[in-house]
């Protein structure tokens, strides 16, 4: 790696850490009306999502939030990360960014009428080489936690490829 690339990579890492610091912990309060619209949109009529008594009988504290709805929490945080960094990354450091994909891992069911937080972390860039040259893979990890931060509900890992200019 050239000295210039090393400097660009170090700058990119510092900028990403600063963006995460500025984003802080995001607080979430699930909106029952929006969750109901989501379920109707995807034609999911599971009573656990609509009927508190059914959910309680099934062992939950309240109506359950559909697992697919989790992306409504994490995608805005991912976009915030990229948009925040966009104007800072591009000039002389990053030539291009590609969102490669997202993998969501579920650990505990989420229920309505609770507060949740999203903690955002970013991995160190890992250099990859392909037919189009070298690029860096970065994982943005979004953890959905309870307000006390002692229970993980889901983790959404977004992978991005960054090409140095």
113 bridge partner residues: none
CA distances from 152 to 36, 53, 105, 146, 158 (A): 24, 25, 10, 7, 17
pLDDT tens digit sequence for 51-77: 999 999 999 999 999 988 888 878 777
Return the structure tokens found at 146. Answer: 């309870």
Q: Which residues are bridge partners to 104 per DSSP? A: 156
pLDDT of residue 1: 59
As given in the structure block, the two tokens for residue 1 are: 């790696």
Domain that holds residue 40: 3-164
Domain of 112, CATH number, reads: 3.10.129.10
What's the pLDDT band for 17 if we cut at 50, 70, 90? confident
User: What is the pairing mode between strands 152-164 and 133-146?
Assistant: antiparallel
* Whole-structure pTM value: 0.83
d(CA 103, CA 117): 19
Token pair of 28, please?
């979430």
Q: How many domains does the chain fold into? A: 1
Residue 31: pLDDT band by 50, 70, 90 thresholds? confident
């Amino acid at each position: 790696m050239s000295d210039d690339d090393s400097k660009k990579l170090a700058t990119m890492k510092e900028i990403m850490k600063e963006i995460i610091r500025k984003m802080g912990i995001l607080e979430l309060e699930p909106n029952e009306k929006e969750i109901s619209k989501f379920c109707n949109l995807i034609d999911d009529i599971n009573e656990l999502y609509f009927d508190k008594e059914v959910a309680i009988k099934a062992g939950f504290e309240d109506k359950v939030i559909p697992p697919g709805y989790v992306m409504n929490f994490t995608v805005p945080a991912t976009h915030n990360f990229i948009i925040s960094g966009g104007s800072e990354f591009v000039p002389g450091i990053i030539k291009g960014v590609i969102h490669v994909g997202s993998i969501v891992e579920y650990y505990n069911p989420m229920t309505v009428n609770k507060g949740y937080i999203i903690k955002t972390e970013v991995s160190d860039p890992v250099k990859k080489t392909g037919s189009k040259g070298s690029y860096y893979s970065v994982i943005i990890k979004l953890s959905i936690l309870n307000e006390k931060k002692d229970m993980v509900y889901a983790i959404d890992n977004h992978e991005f490829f960054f090409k140095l200019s």
